[in-house]
Chains A and B, each alone.
Chain A
Amino acid sequence: MPTRTTGETSGSSGVALDIDRRDLAWYVDKAVAGLVFVAGISAIIFIIGIFVFITREGIGFLTSAFDFKEFFGSPAWRPTSERKATYGALALIAGTASVTGLAMIVSVPFSLGAAIFIGEFATGKTREALKILVELLAAIPSVVWGFIGLSIMNPLIIETFDVPIGLNILNSGIILGLMAAPIMTTIAEDALKAVPDSYREAAEALGATRWQVTRRVVIPAAKNGLVAAVLLGVGRGFGETMAVLMASGHSVNMPTSVFDSVRALTATIAAELGETAMGSDHYRALFTLGILLFVVTFVINLTADLVVRGIRKR
């Protein structure tokens, strides 16, 4: 049994009794509070740690071999050249941007459509089954997606469009779109659910149909959440590595059509980092790509977060 400090020694009132207690429950409370605090701020510690780490590894390149004009203006990524190593990342940036862009064109209509159906139209078992299936889609490992791109989509694209090779923006864009869709659907559906039912009831009372309620009332009210869902989907696509590495063709190339092979920033790091000597210019240049990726995803996520905040304030 825990013992309690009584008022006899301190001689104070009942309020002071509670302040003075130092029993097991009190210690447990303090310990748990401390633990939860550490867990809570650990995300911040990790993110700062990661940023410090990649900056430290990449900074040597930024201050020595880095040439701003070459990095952002030249497509010539030739880090192991025998003549002159060049670190032009333009083609890699264009590759990532084009694949992510196409992925969004593919997935935004599907995801928002799915979210609206699940949130506003489906009922009962259909709704539950759909939610589970969408979440299951998110659980497919990216290497499996890459495999689908390589062995199913590649011959399909060659046959359908009569192009020389099926490992291209179209292939990886579709794969990436399918990968980003579940996260976008889930977040968009949450945003729709956050719209109070009283809005819908009021609109229905005025004689609006289901679609009119959705289009004129629910979607405008959930707008910020939907934008945030799309942005997080973009972030997901931007950072994806394995599937893009396998399905994009991994070719340093400035794309001019969706049938061109490209190479993504993430895939370049994945393919090359394991094979470079630590501390070499090539190694540091890859970390510089990492800094670029980190900054872009950070900005996307921050924007998404601020947009969601916008909703709550109102």
Chain B
Amino acid sequence: MMTRIIPFVVVIAVACGGGANAARTLIQNKGSDTLVNVAQAWAEAYGVLRPDVAIAVSGGGSGTGISAMINGTVDIANASRQMRESELEAARTNGNDPVEFVVGYDALAIFLHPDNPVTEMSIDQLAGIYGDGGTIETWSQLGVSVPGCASDEIIRVSRQNNSGTYAYFRASVLGDNDFKLGSRDMHGSKDVVDLVENTPCAIGYSGLAYATEHTSMPCLVSADGGCVAPTVATAIARTYPIARPLFMYTAGQPTGAIREYLDWVLSADGQCIILELGYAPATSAECA
């Protein structure tokens, strides 16, 4: 409990003292790997604006942030999936009633090796590749042969089982079915893209912001039959089938420095930073 109380006390001291002479306020911000680059950019820009507030950002995955929220060791938890009812319950039991803020949207892109001729995929195909009991094991089953992939085997690249990206993919693509065992479970969004880049047989999924020119991203067939490419524009328009909200959680209604920080994140200034980094903003901001 002590770790929880100390930053809280500091925050109150700053709020009451006007922040002029008070010590630097430290906000602990932790969680989603998808959000970590944005969170860092926000923290840096805010540090210039408000030198009296320091924001310590660390990644590790949505599960890390949410666990820290439940255990009360963080001020703001980043997550690329919503907290589950069981997790909310656990946090409330510990006296940290989580409050949710949607800070942006992210298109979950499917990544392929640049030599892979596939340009169009459906959710059903993805479920057949990744889902438990799915029957798609080889690229020829999708009607293509991938240069450099002699074995024809589809190498599934996935995420560790506590990642928010993993949980969102499971919910939106697999319909909460389990993943097929035997996927390579990477420990970061960037690791997935790196591995796919170097492996002709591979397929992976990761946030659009992690895209590089050394990978190809197929468009996804949407409900009306058109094929929608993963872009910031389609994520804003919500036409891309697997775009997801990105969350920040605080323990209880935020006050003082944490409140001010979140207000700034959701302001035009903050939202333009997230847009710049390849995500869709949560509010319609006019950016230069």
Q: Which A residues form the contact surface with B (CB < 8 A)?
A: 75-83, 91, 154-155, 158, 162-165, 167, 245, 249-253, 261, 263, 271-272, 274-278, 280
A-B pair count, CB < 8 Å, reads: 92
Question: Does the CB pair B182–A275 fall under 8 Å?
Answer: no
Chain B residues closer than 8 Å to A278, beta-carbon distance: 67, 70-71
Contact flag A154-B64 (CB < 8 Å), given A250-B185, A272-B162? no
* Interface: B120 (CB within 8 A): no
Interface size on B, residues (CB 8 A): 38
Q: Which of B172-191 contact A (CB under 8 A)?
A: 176-179, 181-187
Question: Does the CB pair A277–B183 fall under 8 Å?
Answer: no
Q: Which of B147-197 contact A (CB under 8 A)?
A: 149-151, 153, 155, 160-162, 167, 170-171, 176-179, 181-187, 195
* Interface: B254 (CB within 8 A): no
Question: Does the CB pair A158–B161 fall under 8 Å?
Answer: no
Contact flag A271-B160 (CB < 8 Å), given A276-B67, A277-B90? yes
Question: Does the CB pair A82–B186 fall under 8 Å?
Answer: no
Interface SS, A side: loop
Interface SS, B side: mixed
Residue of A nearest to B156 (CB): A251
Residue of A nearest to B150 (CB): A162
Given contacts A164-B201, A165-B202, A274-B64, 4 further A-B contacts (CB under 8 A): A76-B181, A162-B151, A249-B184, A275-B63
Question: Does the CB pair B70–A251 fall under 8 Å?
Answer: no
Question: Does the CB pair B70–A271 fall under 8 Å?
Answer: no
Chain B residues closer than 8 Å to A154, beta-carbon distance: 198
Contact flag A277-B70 (CB < 8 Å), given A164-B149, A272-B162? yes
Chain A residues closer than 8 Å to B60, beta-carbon distance: 274-275
Question: Does the CB pair B64–A252 fall under 8 Å?
Answer: no
Chain B residues closer than 8 Å to A250, beta-carbon distance: 160, 184-187
Question: Does the CB pair B176–A82 fall under 8 Å?
Answer: yes
Question: Does the CB pair A165–B155 fall under 8 Å?
Answer: yes
* Interface: B61 (CB within 8 A): yes
